[in-house]
Structure 1
């Protein structure tokens, strides 16, 4: 083959991706190193950003679209895709993380690397590109010119805030950078602070995606006989950095082989447990107000994170979940509450890893009943003694992390974030047992019953832990409110416990 023929078989490729999937993007770039590949780092957004993007879409011959839950909802990824399609570029969808496929892509062949890069998936992608190389004309004329696009900074800022509320942190950062680059000004809002907050969310999300990606690769190594030993060595290193992340339960296999998954095995995303050993807790004495009593708290496990939007959505989506009468039989008033409002309320703050709010106490308990059945062990809400024990540990600390308040370790009114944060955010604010959000973010329903009742004579339920709207004093482990169990609010969620 002549040098000219070889050059003609090198394709100019544009990779479109959500920034949270940067690691997947780099992996694809390595696989396509025989081609001329371009991707936008999105680190610097200027006033002529769309002009540059259009120039590169016009330059390319193939458009590689990395599909994930974030990219299919990303406004800029969608715009890039529409432009490439309108210009007649060859489209190569690559599924990097499981997501609902957009309608416009359901009929197209796509390469699936969501469970790891395999020989078959690499062959499929390269074959698709090679076929497009052979069928394309050697000299392509630009079908559309890249014209300058005027950016309204207020519109970009509003779009960024909307994306932030929906949990689309990649879009949020991008649009906020656009607003700043195009001169957004407000006498009341410091856009740099807003952008910094969005960047924090995005960084946390990227770390989670990268952890998940590396874990999947390790599982594939272990499941392949010739690389099994390498896989177990990699898992040991992975385990040292992420001791609590093991959705496939690899650590349970003492013989060094993956145990067969039980039929009908069930997992919830981010459902991890922190063991709290038996110990003492100083709690308020109900008989002597203002005085404490020391009680012994039996060993238990508390969920590492608050119950998330994604977890509760699985309860809703399960045909035998939210609408199953069996889960509402724990209290005669629970099913009556369900019948009065048989559908869950819409969430205020989107994002799979944000805490689920706007749930009643009855809904939280119904979720526990459902999850108990799924996992085969009793799951419920914490009680007062468990809360104090998990919060303060053996050294009776004032705050979960120590004895000095630090607003960067929690989400209370002092933090001035004003919305619930992702449950994985505060790595520097965990309790002595590694539990997140013991202080702030959202209030947590408990299993404790108040002596007070509502107008119907139904006992109220206790919430603790404070929220993003409350001052730090109300996040004290001994502070609580009693509420009608039918109450729901954007600042109230829940977390789980189980016996050890």
Structure 2
């Protein structure tokens, strides 16, 4: 059927339809978590009867934590680290004075969906990702529910901003009565290194980490042909279910790769506004992600972004004092 609407009127109609579609995409949609919650409850009861000594699991809806010991380490990268960026800070001694309980995995999509369902929280995050091309772009229909690729409830939550991450740990605290929070950068790097002094917890060679971290490798290059990748193949194009790769010496999975993990720290270029009582507009994250070229999948790498920003590779990991 041929439209008889004048051009200007037709354009308005199209715009109205697009906005209506946008509202539909943004509207909170119920997640069917019945199966997920039943599996979690069964796993929680089994864990209660046979829990590893260093693990903490406060509630079936919340992440499992691993207690890591107090200790000291050298934070940052040495000048001799081959892939080091020129602006990376020099190494300095750092101390973790008390044990910390750290999420065994990044927060999963199922865990994040349960937070949304129970709290009624509605993210306002504009998510960037890939929709067929190799260029990173914001899409109005991208969200943690639809990041531009398929996920299971065991994949890490993505399209999470720092504000979303902060709301999530606040909900965990209300849900459990314990004080949940994000890690600091110093805590995160200590947990990621797990006693190692190499560029990555498994060593210096990124190609030897295809069973240790989900970063950009030859699997990614099949689609993203202009990417710089590790010379190995793990079969994962986007995110992978948490725990699919080896744990580090602290028993933590996906500390490197899979998703960038927001931490508490204010970025250096926002510290002045933070100290003056203003809102810290840029926050730090660590770890690299499924899209990251090997140089970014290192223990010392730091990334800053706007606190309201989302991306199909931005997630989080939680902590609490044991």
- What's 1:448 paired with? 265
- Does residue 1:355 correspond to 2:156, yes or no? yes
* Structure having the higher Rg: 1
- What's 2:240 paired with? 421
- What's 1:121 paired with? none
CA distance in 2, matches of 1:249, 1:281: 33
Return the offset for 1:273: 1.1
Return the offset for 1:436: 0.6
SS at match of 1:477: coil
- What's 1:476 paired with? 298
CA contact (8 A) 1:381 1:446 kept: yes
- 1:153-164 to structure 2, matched below 5 A, reads none
TM-score relative to the length of structure 2? 0.63
In structure 2, do the counterparts of structure 1 residues 351 and 491 end up closer, same or farther at CA, with 3 Å as the change threshold? Answer: same
In structure 2, do the counterparts of structure 1 residues 345 and 432 end up closer, same or farther at CA, with 3 Å as the change threshold? Answer: closer
SS at match of 1:452: helix
Higher helix share: 1
CA distance in 1, matches of 2:92, 2:217: 31
CA distance in 2, matches of 1:359, 1:446: 12
Q: Which of 404, 407, 418 is residue 210 of structure 2 equivalent to? A: 407
CA contact (8 A) 2:109 2:155 kept: yes
- What's 1:393 paired with? 194
Return the offset for 1:304: 0.5
SS at match of 1:380: strand
CA distance in 1, matches of 2:216, 2:105: 20
Q: For residues 22-74 of structure 1, give each alpha carbon's deviation from its aligned partner in whole angstroms, at most 9, with x where no partner exists.
A: xxxxxxxxxxxxxxxxxxxxxxxxxxxxxxxxxxxxxxxxxxxxxxxxxxx9x
- What's 2:308 paired with? 486
In structure 2, do the counterparts of structure 1 residues 475 and 486 end up closer, same or farther at CA, with 3 Å as the change threshold? Answer: same
Q: Which of 82, 102, 108 is residue 302 of structure 1 equivalent to? A: 102
CA distance in 1, matches of 2:106, 2:157: 8
CA contact (8 A) 2:199 2:300 kept: no
- What's 1:88 paired with? none
Return the offset for 1:494: 0.6
- Does residue 1:275 correspond to 2:275, yes or no? no
Q: For residues 95-143 of structure 1, give each alpha carbon's deviation from its aligned partner in whole angstroms, at most 9, with x where no partner exists.
A: xx9649xxxxxxxxxxxxx98xxxxxxxxxxxxxxxxxxxxxxxxxxxx
Aligned-residue CA RMSD (Å): 3.5
Q: Which of 299, 305, 315 is residue 115 of structure 2 equivalent to? A: 315
Return the offset for 1:401: 3.3
Q: Return 5+ residue gaps in structure 2 as ranges.
A: 1-31, 52-57, 78-86, 124-139, 220-235
Q: Which of 375, 384, 404 is residue 185 of structure 2 equivalent to? A: 384
- What's 2:49 paired with? 250
TM-score relative to the length of structure 1? 0.42
Q: Return 5+ residue gaps in structure 1 as ranges.
A: 1-72, 74-96, 101-113, 116-208, 217-244, 253-264, 325-340
- 1:190-209 to structure 2, matched below 5 A, reads none
CA contact (8 A) 2:75 2:189 kept: yes
CA contact (8 A) 1:452 1:459 kept: no
Give the number of aligned pairs.
232
CA distance in 1, matches of 2:160, 2:201: 25
CA distance in 2, matches of 1:317, 1:457: 28
- What's 1:368 paired with? 169
- What's 1:292 paired with? 91
CA distance in 1, matches of 2:210, 2:144: 31
